[in-house]
Each structure stands twice: as C-alpha cells, then as structure tokens.
Amino acid sequence: MTIIKNTGGFVPRDRNWQPAALTPQYKTSVKRSPQAALLSFPTTLSEETNPVFGHNMLGDLDNDLIHNYAASGESAIGPRIIVHGRVLDEMGRPVPGALLEFWQANAGGRYRHKKESYLAPLDPNFGGCGRTITGEDGSYEFRTIQPGPYPWPNGMNDWRPAHIHFSVFGHGFAQRLITQMYFEGDPHIWLCPIVDTIDDKAAVESLIAPLDMHRTVPMDSRAYKFDIVLRGRRQTFFENRVEGM
Amino acid sequence: MTQKLEYLKESPSQTAGPYVHIGCTPNFTGIEIYGEDLGASMKTGPVKGQEITIKGTVFDGTGTPLRDAMIEIWQPDGEGLFNSANETRGQADPNFTGWGRSPGDMNTGEFTFETVKPGAVPFPDGRMQAPHVTFWVVARGINIGLHTRMYFEDEAEANAADPILTRIEHQNRVPTLLAKKEADGVYRFDIRLQGEGETIFFDI
Ligand SMILES: [Fe+2]
C-alpha cells in the first residue's frame, strides 16, 4: 500500500492568471493597490489549516434565495435558476466540506444595501444572499433568480454583466477566494472593466457558467453549471527538512 | 509533443465589490436570514490563554479609511494549536474557533476582534515562528484578497528569530507587521494598502 508520508504545502498562485492589484480601468483599484512586491514564502501551518464549518450550521432555506427572504407563500421575482457545480483543487480532487457564500443583485440589478443608489426597485421578497457546504464529491447547488445587469460609477457608462459573487473556504486558509460567476452569452462580460482586470481570456472564460439543460427542472427552473477550482496541495514522499534539525 | 499535465487552473479572483457584507455579514446589513454573522465571535465558551483585543483600520493610498472592507483573521489557540480538521499535533481549545470576520465599523471602518494571544507555530523546517495572526483583507477595488500577518511588538525576542521576519529584505518595513500595544491586552494593527508605511503583503 502506498503511504504518503508528508503532505506538502500549497502550490504557489499563478499571479499571471490572477488579476493584478493595479488595474487603472477599474478606478477604485488605483489607490487601493499595494505598490511594493508581495513577499513570497512557502505555506506554513497558518495557511495549511482552516476554520471548521459543519453542515449542521445550515438552515433549510440557506441555499434557496427564491424563498429565504420571502414572505410566507411568496417568492422572489425573476427568471428562476439552479446554480450547481463542484469545488475542485488544481490536482482535480474534489474539495468536500467547502463553505460557499453567495450574494447578488435582484432581477432588476438592485442590491438590498443602504449604500445602493440604482433607481431599479427592491423586491420585497428577495434578500440576495445564500450559503451552502459542498458534499463528499465537492458538489453544491442552490436556487435563485437570475440577477440583472446594473450600472456602476466608474466610467460614464459602465455596466456590470449579470453576476453572482462567491466567497469560498477550502481546506487551508491559503485557498481562501472571492470571485464572481458570469452567465453564458452576456455581451456585457467583454465590456466590463472589472472582468478586464483578468488579462487571460481563458481565465475569464473559466468564470462563465454555461446553460445546463440536463439539470433544468422542466416547467420550473433553468440551470447553470459553475465549477470552482482552489489551489492544489502537493503530496510527496520526500520530507522537506533541514539536515540535522 | 509530450504527455499532458492534467492540472486545473485556480479560479481567477474578482473583487469582493461594495456589497460583500450582504453575502458574508448579512445581519450587519440588516438582512436577517441566518443566525449570528459567521466569525462575529471567536469564543464559544471560556478560553485558555491570554484574552486580547485587536483593533485597527485599513487605509487607502490617500490615507482615507476603508469603510467597505471585510477583514478576516485566522490563528491558533493560546498553545499554538489550530481548531482545524488539518491539525494533527493535538486538540485545540474547543471553545476557541481561531477565525474572526469583521465588516468594520459602519462609520469609521475600524475593526475589532476579541481573541486570544496565539501560541507559537513551527515553520516547515521545524524552527519556531514568532506568534502571529493571519489577516485577509477584501474590498471594492481590491482584485484579489490581500494576505498579511500581524506580529506582536512585545515579542521582540521571538520576532528576532522568526524565519519570515528575518528574511525580509527591507528590514525598515518590518514594523508594518507589528501590532502596537495600546493597553494591557489591547493591540492596534493598522493596515496601509499603499504608499508611505505600506503594509507588507504576502504571496503565500
Ligand atoms: Fe455585484
């Protein structure tokens, strides 16, 4: 039997694949981006460990944004969709027990937030947040309404493509990630200065969820598939220790 | 042609945006769907070790405090053990989660964590690291979450032997990682995203 003697650290982030800190087309980044080089070092226990989130913390409607804020017997307005996928690591292994938190605008592109000033109306039955924890095979799903695109103050006429924000915890704090899911076919994706912070076209495409007719619920909801990949962790037979220590 | 390495690429990060609090601390924004916001308290009962408070503010390159950030911290318990499924060295204090999350104060942006002074944790080569708390900062305008570490200014001896602190080329920047003791058990750790006194951020 093969015994893996030592679990190595996390594989370094590919900083060319990830967005840079300073991206002037996204104006807010200009004064919020560090200028000095990042300090690189191998992951330690502080980055290879992670808080524990148990399935027992979840309420029944936590993964149902259509109903989790709605009055009894009512539901949120908008195109009903299921978002599903798997959380994997770079080695292709499923990441079970990953906490996913998601938030989004309503079908008109309006967030439920007091700093939000877009003239589109609030939906009294839509709060805009949900959460779930991946199963043993790394899979997850939730139900929501498709969010609308919305204008935002950056250039004089910038619009966000329809999107859902995701916050993800894996098995090590080094895997901590926040990202956004976009929808197949949305022409705003290629016009958006925030999407454009990612240089590599293939990297952008990895955030675009395709319509998944196999997972639709006929006469009820369409489905979109969105897989999320977290940093991988090395496994090795060879200990990485200084001689004599 | 060669064989292919069948690895996947990490999902690219996108900014947390201005409404991260809706998703991560919904009760703070008045959306009451879950119970208490996750990470709002790090103690679930009486804890071992020295209880401390960490306060601080995140500043942008103009010196303006961020009021739309989300700050998370992750640390071991008072004895240096993590409350994590990956912890193999022993059983951490069951009343201490080790993880905190703060949206900052609505008006000032100041964050506060009620936690314990972390114990020391070894570096991969076996040397001990100085006690530290991992910080992770996201906000509108930050394209990928910023990792840094808070060390303690009153741990001079441990800091002087720390494998990471001693490796930093510009030693005059090390104080950006040191929390200042404001009172007994109260530490201040301000984070500067850019410019003079810019905090050292880590690529881990
Ligand atoms: Fe958004």
Domain ranges in chain A? Answer: 58-229
Would you call B97 and A115 a contact, using CB atoms and an 8 Å cutoff?
no
Would you call A14 and B139 a contact, using CB atoms and an 8 Å cutoff?
no
Evaluate whether residue B8 is within a structural domain. no
Reported as a single tens digit per residue, the pLDDT across A57-89 is 999 999 999 999 999 999 999 999 999 999 999
Residue A116 reports pLDDT greater than 50: yes
Q: How confident is the model at residue A3 (pLDDT cuts 50, 70, 90)?
A: very low
Would you call B12 and A203 a contact, using CB atoms and an 8 Å cutoff?
yes
The rounded Å distance from CA B178 to ligand 1 centre is 34
> Cα A138–A143–A148 angle (5° rounding)?
115
Regarding the domain with residue range A58-229, which homologous superfamily does it belong to in the CATH classification? Answer: Aromatic compound dioxygenase (2.60.130.10)
Would you call B60 and A68 a contact, using CB atoms and an 8 Å cutoff?
no
A134-146 as b/e, with b when 16 or more CB fall inside 10 Å? bbeebebbbbbbb
The rounded Å distance from CA B23 to ligand 1 centre is 11
Residue A203: closest CA among chain B residues belongs to which residue?
A: B12
Residue A17 reports pLDDT greater than 90: yes
From B23, B30, B83, residue closest to A167, measured CB to CB: B23
- The whole-number pLDDT of residue A235 equals 80
Residue with tokens 């029944």, as numbered in its chain: A60
Domain that holds residue B49: 37-192
Evaluate whether residue B142 is within a structural domain. yes
Lowest mean pLDDT among A27-36, A174-183, A230-239, B181-190: A230-239
Q: A97: which chain B residues are within 8 Å (Cβ-Cβ)?
A: 85
Evaluate whether residue B51 is within a structural domain. yes
The CATH number linked to B65 is 2.60.130.10
Across chain A, which distance is largest between two alpha carbons, in Å?
69
Query: ipTM of this model?
Result: 0.97
Say how far apart CA B155 and CA B160 lie, in whole Å.
9
Q: How many domains is chain B built from?
A: 1
- The whole-number pLDDT of residue A2 equals 41
> Cα A19–A186–A214 angle (5° rounding)?
105
Q: A31: which chain B residues are within 8 Å (Cβ-Cβ)?
A: 60-62, 64, 141, 193-194
Evaluate whether residue B23 is within a structural domain. no
The alpha carbon of residue B183 is apart from the nearest alpha carbon of chain A, in Å, by 27
Catalytic residues of A, which ones? 111, 150, 160, 163, 165
Mean pLDDT per 10-residue interval, chain B, length 204 residues: 94 98 97 95 97 98 98 98 94 98 96 98 95 98 98 97 96 98 98 97 95
Q: A136: which chain B residues are within 8 Å (Cβ-Cβ)?
A: none
**Using an 8 Å Cβ cutoff, are A105 and A150 in contact?**
yes
Where does chain B have alpha helices with state H?
Answer: 20-24, 156-160
- The whole-number pLDDT of residue A8 equals 83
Reported as a single tens digit per residue, the pLDDT across A142-157 is 999 999 999 999 999 9
Residue A70: closest CA among chain B residues belongs to which residue?
A: B33
From B38, B141, B204, residue closest to A47, measured CB to CB: B204
Number of CB pairs, chain A paired with chain B, less than 8 A apart: 271
Would you call B15 and A69 a contact, using CB atoms and an 8 Å cutoff?
no
- The whole-number pLDDT of residue A245 equals 42
Would you call B8 and A89 a contact, using CB atoms and an 8 Å cutoff?
yes
- The whole-number pLDDT of residue A4 equals 44
Q: A8 vs A142, which has greater pLDDT?
A: A142
Evaluate whether residue B199 is within a structural domain. no
Q: How far is CA A217 from CA A86, A114, A131, A137, A168, in A?
A: 19, 35, 21, 22, 26
Residue A23 reports pLDDT greater than 50: yes
From B9, B33, B143, residue closest to A17, measured CB to CB: B9
Residue A1 reports pLDDT greater than 50: no
Say how far apart CA B152 and CA B160 lie, in whole Å.
11
- The whole-number pLDDT of residue B107 equals 94
Is any Cβ of chain B less than 8 angstroms from the Cβ of A36? yes
Mutate: best of A25, A38, A39, partner B, most B CBs <10 A? A39
**Bridge-partner residues for A145, per DSSP?**
A80
Return all residues near A87 (Cβ < 8 A) that are at least 6 apart. Answer: A94, A95, A98, A100, A134, A138, A140, A168, A170, A227, A228, A229, A230
Say how far apart CA A194 and CA A27 lie, in whole Å.
10
- The whole-number pLDDT of residue A11 equals 95
Residue A211 reports pLDDT greater than 90: yes
Evaluate whether residue B64 is within a structural domain. yes
Is any Cβ of chain A less than 8 angstroms from the Cβ of B141? yes
Would you call A207 and B99 a contact, using CB atoms and an 8 Å cutoff?
no
